């Protein structure tokens, strides 16, 4: 059967046989795979907003999210050549998880900053909507703070960032069944919290 890729001009089959490490097909496949990897600028433009939101959901303090995002992209820039081209979102969120974990640990030894001022009592309709969304996100963030790191990562990546189970497992570096178990526990905790809040319990 003829080879998938013809040898280059001037290189016959005998020359290839003398060098068993020469695999034109493998080189071609690697080249095609490399061509699928987006540039750093493309990654930044397409994913910066979602990575910012993921960092906030993963527990990075609002005052630190911009710095954490910059750290994520420094890592992306440094390691982009290592990316195999298979699942960009999983690769990016895996970096996000590590950076968020580092920032949460460092935040425990730093003084808390003052909270922003309370909005004026008279707000436009759009401001009311923004306030409600902000309050809801704040409530969700508090309940996420009660989860352990593994459950929180699974919940944020799957439920909020809408990765697939497989992408979530790749980002977390664990089997699908483990992700499912973490999600089930995280969902039960979050649902119980909002159920209590809806019945007049603690917010």
Does the 123-203 domain belong in CATH 3.30.1360.40? no
Span 123-181, pLDDT tens digits: 454 554 555 555 666 778 888 999 999 999 999 999 989 999 999 999 999 999 999 99
pLDDT of amino acid 44: 94
pLDDT, greater one: 84 or 4: 84
To the nearest whole percent, how much of the chain has pLDDT over 90?
A: 48
Regarding pTM above 0.85, the answer is no
Does the pLDDT at position 200 exceed 70? no
Q: For the chain, which residues make up each domain, given as ranges?
A: 31-111, 123-203
Nearest Cα residue to 188 out of 143, 158, 153, 150: 143
Fold of 31-111: Rna Polymerase Sigma Factor; Chain: A (1.10.1740)
Spatial CB neighbours of 101, under 8 Å, sequence gap ≥ 6: 58, 149
pLDDT, greater one: 160 or 4: 160
Does the pLDDT at position 100 exceed 60? yes
Spatial CB neighbours of 196, under 8 Å, sequence gap ≥ 6: 202
């Amino acid at each position: 059967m003829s080879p998938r890729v013809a040898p280059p001009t001037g290189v016959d089959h005998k020359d290839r046989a003398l060098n068993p490490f020469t695999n034109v097909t493998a080189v071609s496949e690697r080249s095609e795979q490399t061509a699928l990897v987006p540039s750093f600028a493309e990654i930044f433009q397409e994913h910066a907003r979602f990575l910012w939101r993921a960092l906030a959901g993963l527990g990075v303090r609002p005052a630190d999210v911009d710095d954490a995002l910059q750290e994520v992209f420094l890592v992306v820039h440094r390691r982009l050549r290592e990316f195999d081209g298979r699942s960009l979102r999983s690769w990016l969120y895996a970096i996000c998880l590590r950076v968020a974990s580092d920032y949460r640990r460092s935040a425990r030894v730093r003084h808390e900053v003052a909270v922003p001022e309370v909005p004026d009592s008279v707000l436009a309709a759009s401001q009311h909507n923004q306030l409600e969304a902000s309050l809801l996100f704040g409530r969700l963030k508090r309940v996420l703070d009660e989860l352990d790191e593994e459950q929180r990562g699974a919940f944020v990546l799957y439920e909020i960032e809408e990765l697939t189970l497989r992408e979530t497992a790749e980002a977390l570096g664990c089997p699908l069944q483990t992700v499912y178990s973490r999600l089930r526990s995280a969902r039960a905790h979050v649902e119980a919290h909002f159920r209590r809040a809806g019945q007049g319990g603690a917010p």
